[in-house]
Structure 1
């Protein structure tokens, strides 16, 4: 009774060039350092056939040319390759290229990329913005430079000069002269608190007196704010609505937001002066509550949706005049 072949034995035949660009073919078994080098392509393939006929397992050989995979064959197709290459008297330098063009080797089918399913985001949530006042949400020109300057000013206003280094007059140390002025061979020194000594004061280090605030004109700040609101309106990402809660409840706020399909958005900017709404949204990482008088240009640009009440819209209309 014939024994059933089990595992697959893998072999490789690849081109190899010496210093004079003379070609040879390296025959190797997978996971083994020992390999054979043959001067002719057919000798390497015949060696594979000889080894395969003696093996009790299935065998397959992979061909490599110019360091790239060109295809693979089993024992039966290897014999066909020997026959075809011999009949056409193919040169060694074109042997692997020949069997590839003649489709004498098997190649794996190219992987088909499956289209990814996009998750629900702000672009899929659209609101009617046609009734919004054009003086606030409908500027004819978006002032990009004003937006840039406003963001820099906002970030600078948040920055505090809390970093500080000590000068030579503030570090702890003796005021005694380290050594005599002359006849020591050392350079002149008057204090160990000098910056040239270890533990001495810092020269031109940061101080708490620095001010990071940047000046921006009122008109530029207004243009930046209205431009950011216009961009949200153009994306239909402005919802005019006021959430009113009886008590502090995150669940109740989520229920109201779910009615408007805002729960799964990454960044919801909620404009409200209601303390109950503010306290209810504290545990929601994707909801940011702010007053209409504290609107940030950077926060508006980062928001997926702006939720604002009618009264706050009227406040913005007053700022736009």
Structure 2
């Protein structure tokens, strides 16, 4: 049996009801799966920046510091030996390290459905009537969020409207963000206090996740 939810317009008025797909919004909440997807996303955003210079890369030391024999000193081939001050580092980290992880597509979808089901139960999802604004204006979008009583919110738009006036008007707002269904990710879903999903965006979301 499908669950119904209220639809609000930008004036914070009731604009009808929406029937929710139970395959998406009544999915069992699997915390371990959500955690795995969060760690995967964070790992894939991580860059291997830690790097040191070995004796091949460190500058200087092109000639022997002294001749091989007759000085009474130990043999030395370069002042950039790891044994010398200012020399190369042995077995240090290199920037070639890859932190990328993978997760089956089916498991990623299940994690998103778990997160959406959890957020709906917590009352953190608001379904919005589809709307447009006449021009790119940050103040107008901020007024809409404030009028809805949202202090920190994510607005989810259909992929077709990913680069429209709404998304551009939200770009410079500190506590608000607008993204398309194609860019929807687990981090943004859990980061924001309220998730606003337009009717058309929800149709696309349910179509993608119920397959």
TM-score (norm 1): 0.55
Gaps of 5+ in 2: 1-13
Residues 1:287 and 2:172 aligned together: no
Separation (CA, whole Å) in 1 of partners of 2:52 and 2:36: 30
Separation (CA, whole Å) in 2 of partners of 1:308 and 1:130: 11
Instruction: Give the corresponding residue for 2:100.
Output: 213
Which digits, 9 at most, give the CA deviation of each residue in 1:244-281, with x for residues without a partner?
1110112211232233222xx2x201112243112211
Give the secondary-structure state (helix, strand or coil) at the position aligned to 1:131.
strand
Instruction: Give the corresponding residue for 1:175.
Output: 62
Instruction: Give the corresponding residue for 1:269.
Output: 154
1:18-97 aligned within 5 A: none
Gaps of 5+ in 1: 1-126
The answer to whether the 8 A contact 1:129-1:233 is kept is no
1:111-130 aligned within 5 A: none
Separation (CA, whole Å) in 1 of partners of 2:164 and 2:48: 31
**141-150 or 198-207, larger mean C-alpha shift:** 198-207
Give the secondary-structure state (helix, strand or coil) at the position aligned to 2:20.
coil
Separation (CA, whole Å) in 2 of partners of 1:187 and 1:146: 59
Larger Rg over CA atoms? 1
Separation (CA, whole Å) in 1 of partners of 2:113 and 2:58: 50
Q: How many residues get paired?
A: 192
Separation (CA, whole Å) in 2 of partners of 1:206 and 1:271: 40
Instruction: Rate the CA distance shift 1:129–1:200 in 2: closer, same or farther, 3 A.
Output: farther
The answer to whether the 8 A contact 1:138-1:230 is kept is yes
CA RMSD of aligned residues (A): 2.4
Separation (CA, whole Å) in 1 of partners of 2:132 and 2:144: 9
Separation (CA, whole Å) in 2 of partners of 1:190 and 1:129: 80
Residues 1:301 and 2:190 aligned together: yes
Instruction: Rate the CA distance shift 1:129–1:174 in 2: closer, same or farther, 3 A.
Output: farther
State the Cα distance separating 1:207 from its structure 2 match. Answer: 2.2
Residues 1:149 and 2:48 aligned together: no
Give the secondary-structure state (helix, strand or coil) at the position aligned to 1:308.
strand
Instruction: Give the corresponding residue for 1:246.
Output: 134
Give the secondary-structure state (helix, strand or coil) at the position aligned to 2:141.
helix
Out of 26, 51, 54, the residue aligned to residue 164 of structure 1 is 51
Out of 197, 201, 206, the residue aligned to residue 84 of structure 2 is 197
**141-150 or 155-164, larger mean C-alpha shift:** 155-164
State the Cα distance separating 1:222 from its structure 2 match. Answer: 1.1
Separation (CA, whole Å) in 2 of partners of 1:310 and 1:172: 61
Out of 310, 314, 318, the residue aligned to residue 199 of structure 2 is 310
